[in-house]
Amino acid sequence: MPVAIEPCAGVPVPRIPLSWSARLHAEDLDRALAQGMSPDATPMLRARARWLTSPTQRRVVAKGLNSSVRRGAIPQTRIALTTRVRVSPEAAGDARETLEQLARRLLSPDPPAVAGVVLARRLLTDGIGPMYSRIARPGDLRRAADHALLACGP
């Protein structure tokens, strides 16, 4: 039978730093931010938005987009044993210009809106999304990249 442990009077209960808590709830927070919820709505959303829009994270996403464009352009002549999901060459070729524009926007000195960063990250991290899917419709990746670019703001 589980035993509940009550905090002792006068003994402080350790708290998880807000940034850690935001990382633990990243999926839910990212969904809310991508749907346009204000980062100022809660301290956890603010912490997550601050991390996502940091120059370091924006560089990571931009580098991933550029790398995906390059990997998509390499002809797959043999089957490679790897844990990396292959970029769809057709999708990457079709969306190349938009993906490059998105990468440049993420690297611009004017910080992009957090919703755009979330959507750009999702392009890279969703293994069944239009970047990697062999069954995606033509233009899906370009439309998703356009949507992320638009969400980044002017």
Domain ranges across the chain = 42-72+87-151
Q: Note the pLDDT tens digit of each residue in 12-49.
A: 766 788 888 888 889 999 999 999 999 999 999 999 99
Task: Show the tokens assigned to 115.
Answer: 């919703």
- Smallest Cα–Cα separation from 131: which of 97, 81, 87? 87
Contact 130, 144 (CB under 8 A): yes
Q: Note the pLDDT tens digit of each residue in 87-146.
A: 888 888 889 999 999 999 999 999 999 999 999 999 999 988 888 887 778 899 999 999
When pLDDT is cut at 50, 70 and 90, the band that residue 2 belongs to is low
When pLDDT is cut at 50, 70 and 90, the band that residue 84 belongs to is low
Which pTM does this prediction carry?
0.83
